[in-house]
Amino acid sequence: PIERNKEIQEARMELPICAEEQIIMETISNNPVVIICGETGSGKTTQIPQFLYEAGYSSKDNDNPGIIGITQPRRVAAVSMSKRVAQELSLSEQEVSYQIRYDATISPKTVIKFMTDGVLLRELANDFLLSKYSAIIIDEAHERSLNTDILIGAVSRVLKLRAELSEDDGGKIKPLKIIIMSATLRVSDFTQNKNLFDMVPPIINVSARQFPVSIHFNRRTPNIDYVSEAFKKVCKIHTRLPHGGILVFLTGQNEISILCKKLRRKFPYLTQYKSKQLLEEEKIVGDVESLTAKEADVEIGDLDIGDKEVGEELFDTDSEDSEENDEITVDERSGPLYVLPLYSLLSTHAQLRVFEAPPEGTRLCVVATNVAETSLTIPGIKYVVDCGKVKERRYDVITGVQSYVVDWTSKASADQRAGRAGRTGPGHCYRLFSSAVFNDQFQQFTIPEVYRMPIEGIVLQMKAMNIDTVYNFPFPTPPDRNHLRKAERLLQYMNALDENGGITELGRVMATFPVAPRFSKMLIIGQQHGCLPYIIAIVSALSVADPFIKDYHLDISMNSDDDVEEEDNEDFDVRYNELSEIQKEAISQKEHRKLIRKRFYDVQKKHAGLDPTSDILKLLNVVGAYVYEGGTDEFCERNFVRPKAMEEIHKLRRQITNIVQVNCPGVDVCLDSKMKPPSIVQLKAIRQIITAGFIDQIAIRKGLIDKSSKIFSSARNVEYCTMWADDNVFIHPTSILYHHKPPDFVVYQELHRTSKVWMKGITVIESS
């Protein structure tokens, strides 16, 4: 019998899913695969693992002794949900644990394990029977993330194997239970797919108590500036409508930070009661509040079959920051607004704050990405403000050009968002677009990711699971054959597959690294001249995310913001001496910005090194220095890098070093905290290894082909040609090569389309 504390017990009784425990457990007991659909917040993620646990799954003396595994498409959810379930069961972190790419709390005592879907996929390569599990729960299946789709295909096979073996084998191997969970009823791709499951699995629909939500469309649709529109809407709600939390959906971290800042300025909570927690949040990212804006950047590691963060990537604008210069009048009559951001890159600690009751006398306002759409349920939300947009990574299979596109979300996901307002009582959803736009321009459902992502990482994982003919793999929705063929060809090119498409020894080693195939390849060829420790550091950094804060994320571009104090405004109902305080502050902030700006550019120069030939070497520099100086937040602040990214890079370094030690006997590496800068010979070798890793991503200066003799002193507007893209491509302004004489040949890490196609992560190829 499980002892839960009273408060938790009461909260559980409210959850609709708890009323159905018996039916659910009977169905699971009688069927190998069960699909559970239930409105977000009905209790699927937190309760189903507990039901299984209480029914004896994962108990040592049960006939199904393996542990209970549950997968999530997002790290945020894996970590925070495991904490919640541990708390509900009064168990420790070692018993209810999580495992994500960089981090784990698992132990021999683990009974319930939350993990990202990428983690389970990699486990499949080592143990295709998943023998340590008695049950696998695949959560958020409606999102159709690439890893989730592949997992469902793979476990459908594991299931058959375990069923057969359990009959032959005198009962040593037990059958596996699969539970697929979805926030929507649209599960026909899983149930009607004859390749997937022999028998149509039963579907349990948990009827959540959902209160009516009135939907209000905008009469007109703002062109681009939905952040301002959201601001106006939140102001109206807060000043005019009865109490109840507000949840705003935007597309990315930058926008979220801008809106949070404006709202905090308008309905100050901070200045009066500057809470310790919020102070902490600011400290982590720097001393200027708006610095939070820079935290996210594009997540690299395209074929990252590790963990992924959906839609969190910052739009890489080459235009100016969108924060326009509208003055904000402080409104104290309506009371303070307790504004919290919510996105994947935020620290877990800061994320968990949304579950706490807001401080007395304040109204909660959470500004979130679509992580709040289905994976996290925020209590007490009565109003939803939906910009209707989502940021998606697009990928061109032929050219390899990636782009982050902010586009309309689907009708299904807009409805999910609206539903967030009806959990605790009748609610309202304000859509910042017209009903005509909704009807005509919104797709019915979100397109599965398998159509939108590079897949060579997944293909290599499948081969490592001995799935030789990927064409026959039971994909819930199969990708284009050409897409599969291209992935196979790239892997053959890297010698991960032989000419018949079978996996090679090299390929198997590559598959053990939790990074994209081309990075695995760099690790394997990285042993010359004692370069491996450097290559491990580089690959870790490239796989995590760009840790550098960009100048356009800092409040240091001396732009319109500096003139704010000159505006006069009738609505300013602040007394004169306060106004002059504000002015004083503005002036000192201006000085402060100048100072930061100088520091920023000095630091960039320092990391570029004496011989600025590679953005990737710049990355290596900062990773080395971080560990050398003890890995402190102070270092990050001083060097304009994101602490969370740096920490993750460090963890991945440790993990890759371990994998090398285990899988590559005879190779001698250890994690050296005092890694010396590479020698000249090593630098040359490292550049060659980088080039080999990106050998299909070479660009040539167009002038060289055209035999133009024009001389450039900077790379601005200098055209390059690649092997694949028809468009000319350009060196991105954030590259350290941008301000130098443009080199003839480079390799790039990725191509991004905004107004032009940009190369990022550039390394000069030496013509010797």
Nearer to Mg ion among residue 80 and residue 604 (C-beta) = 80
| Eight-state DSSP code of residue 134 | E
Of 66, 25, 20, 69, residue with least CA distance to 43: 20
Question: Is-contact 628 675, C-beta < 8 A?
Answer: yes
Nearer to Mg ion among residue 44 and residue 264 (C-beta) = 44
Cβ-proximal residues to 515 (8 Å cutoff; 6+ apart), any chain: 301, 304, 306, 523, 539, 542, 543, 652, 656
Q: Is the dihedral of CA 753, 755, 761, 765 positive or negative?
A: positive
Question: Smallest distance, Å, CB 376 to ligand ADP?
Answer: 7
Nearer to Mg ion among residue 116 and residue 697 (C-beta) = 116
Look at residue 43 and give the partner it binds from Mg ion, ligand ADP, none, a contact being a CB closer than 5 to 8 Å depending on partner kind. Answer: ligand ADP
User: Is 44 one of the binding residues for ligand ADP (CB under 6 A)?
Assistant: yes
| Part in contact with Mg ion (CB under 5 A); list of ranges 38-46, 298-306, 501-509, 691-699 | 38-46
Look at residue 604 and give the partner it binds from Mg ion, ligand ADP, none, a contact being a CB closer than 5 to 8 Å depending on partner kind. Answer: none
Nearer to Mg ion among residue 70 and residue 524 (C-beta) = 70
Cβ-proximal residues to 400 (8 Å cutoff; 6+ apart), any chain: 454, 697, 724, 725, 750, 751
What is the rounded CA–CA span in Å between residue 26 and residue 21?
Answer: 9
| Part in contact with ligand ADP (CB under 6 A); list of ranges 35-43, 306-314, 617-625, 647-655 | 35-43
Of 160, 368, 337, residue with least CA distance to 266: 337
Question: Smallest distance, Å, CB 122 to ligand ADP?
Answer: 24
Question: Is-contact 101 307, C-beta < 8 A?
Answer: yes
Look at residue 50 and give the partner it binds from ligand ADP, Mg ion, none, a contact being a CB closer than 5 to 8 Å depending on partner kind. Answer: none
| Part in contact with ligand ADP (CB under 6 A); list of ranges 44-52, 526-534, 567-575, 669-677 | 44-52
Cβ-proximal residues to 260 (8 Å cutoff; 6+ apart), any chain: 292, 339, 340, 341, 367
Look at residue 614 and give the partner it binds from ligand ADP, Mg ion, none, a contact being a CB closer than 5 to 8 Å depending on partner kind. Answer: none
Question: Is-contact 434 221, C-beta < 8 A?
Answer: yes
Look at residue 46 and give the partner it binds from Mg ion, ligand ADP, none, a contact being a CB closer than 5 to 8 Å depending on partner kind. Answer: ligand ADP
Nearer to ligand ADP among residue 258 and residue 354 (C-beta) = 354
Nearer to ligand ADP among residue 421 and residue 537 (C-beta) = 421
Nearer to ligand ADP among residue 137 and residue 690 (C-beta) = 137
Question: Smallest distance, Å, CB 414 to ligand ADP?
Answer: 17
Q: Which two tokens stand for residue 590?
A: 């201006």
The only residue of 107, 188, 274, 355 in contact with ligand ADP, by rule CB under 6 A: 355
SS3 202: coil
| Eight-state DSSP code of residue 143 | G
User: Is 45 one of the binding residues for Mg ion (CB under 5 A)?
Assistant: yes
Q: Which residues pair with 753 in a beta bridge?
A: 757
Phi, psi of 98 (to 5 degrees): -130, 155
Look at residue 691 and give the partner it binds from Mg ion, ligand ADP, none, a contact being a CB closer than 5 to 8 Å depending on partner kind. Answer: none
Nearer to ligand ADP among residue 56 and residue 379 (C-beta) = 379
Nearer to ligand ADP among residue 364 and residue 721 (C-beta) = 364
Nearer to ligand ADP among residue 44 and residue 518 (C-beta) = 44
Nearer to ligand ADP among residue 202 and residue 379 (C-beta) = 379
Nearer to ligand ADP among residue 18 and residue 574 (C-beta) = 18
Three-state SS for 446-506 is CCCHHHCCCCHHHHHHHHHCCCCCHHHCCCCCCCCHHHHHHHHHHHHHCCCECCCCCECHH
User: Is 42 one of the binding residues for ligand ADP (CB under 6 A)?
Assistant: yes
Binding flags for ligand ADP, 361-380, as an x/- string (CB under 6 A): ----------------x-x-
Nearer to Mg ion among residue 371 and residue 401 (C-beta) = 371
Under rule CB under 5 A, how many of the chain's residues touch Mg ion?
2
SS3 63: coil
Binding flags for ligand ADP, 45-84, as an x/- string (CB under 6 A): xxx--------------------------------x---x
The only residue of 38, 301, 427, 678 in contact with ligand ADP, by rule CB under 6 A: 38
What is the rounded CA–CA span in Å between residue 527 and residue 581?
Answer: 60
The length of the chain in residues reads 768
Q: Which two tokens stand for residue 61?
A: 């003396």
| Eight-state DSSP code of residue 329 | -
Q: Is the dihedral of CA 300, 305, 306, 307 positive or negative?
A: positive
Look at residue 703 and give the partner it binds from Mg ion, ligand ADP, none, a contact being a CB closer than 5 to 8 Å depending on partner kind. Answer: none
Question: Smallest distance, Å, CB 535 to Mg ion?
Answer: 39
The only residue of 24, 33, 34, 43 in contact with ligand ADP, by rule CB under 6 A: 43
Question: Is-contact 547 646, C-beta < 8 A?
Answer: yes
Look at residue 355 and give the partner it binds from ligand ADP, Mg ion, none, a contact being a CB closer than 5 to 8 Å depending on partner kind. Answer: ligand ADP
User: Is 40 one of the binding residues for ligand ADP (CB under 6 A)?
Assistant: yes
Look at residue 448 and give the partner it binds from Mg ion, ligand ADP, none, a contact being a CB closer than 5 to 8 Å depending on partner kind. Answer: none
Nearer to ligand ADP among residue 374 and residue 735 (C-beta) = 374
SS3 626: helix
Of 80, 47, 20, residue with least CA distance to 378: 80
Q: 215-238 burial, b for 16+ CB within 10 Å, e for fewer? A: bebbeebeeeebbbbbbebbbebb
| Part in contact with ligand ADP (CB under 6 A); list of ranges 41-49, 127-135, 144-152, 315-323 | 41-49
| Part in contact with ligand ADP (CB under 6 A); list of ranges 33-41, 114-122, 480-488, 533-541 | 33-41
User: Is 209 one of the binding residues for ligand ADP (CB under 6 A)?
Assistant: no
Phi, psi of 675 (to 5 degrees): -60, 125
| Eight-state DSSP code of residue 718 | -
Question: Smallest distance, Å, CB 205 to ligand ADP?
Answer: 12
Which residues inside 215-254 make contact with ligand ADP, applying CB under 6 A? none
The CA–CA distances, whole Å, from 378 to 299, 354, 382, 636 equal 26, 6, 10, 31
Question: Smallest distance, Å, CB 379 to ligand ADP?
Answer: 5
Which residues inside 77-116 make contact with ligand ADP, applying CB under 6 A? 80, 84
Q: Which two tokens stand for residue 486?
A: 């291209």
Question: Smallest distance, Å, CB 124 to Mg ion?
Answer: 23
Residues in touch with Mg ion (CB under 5 A): 44-45
Residues in touch with ligand ADP (CB under 6 A): 15, 38, 40-47, 80, 84, 352, 355, 377, 379
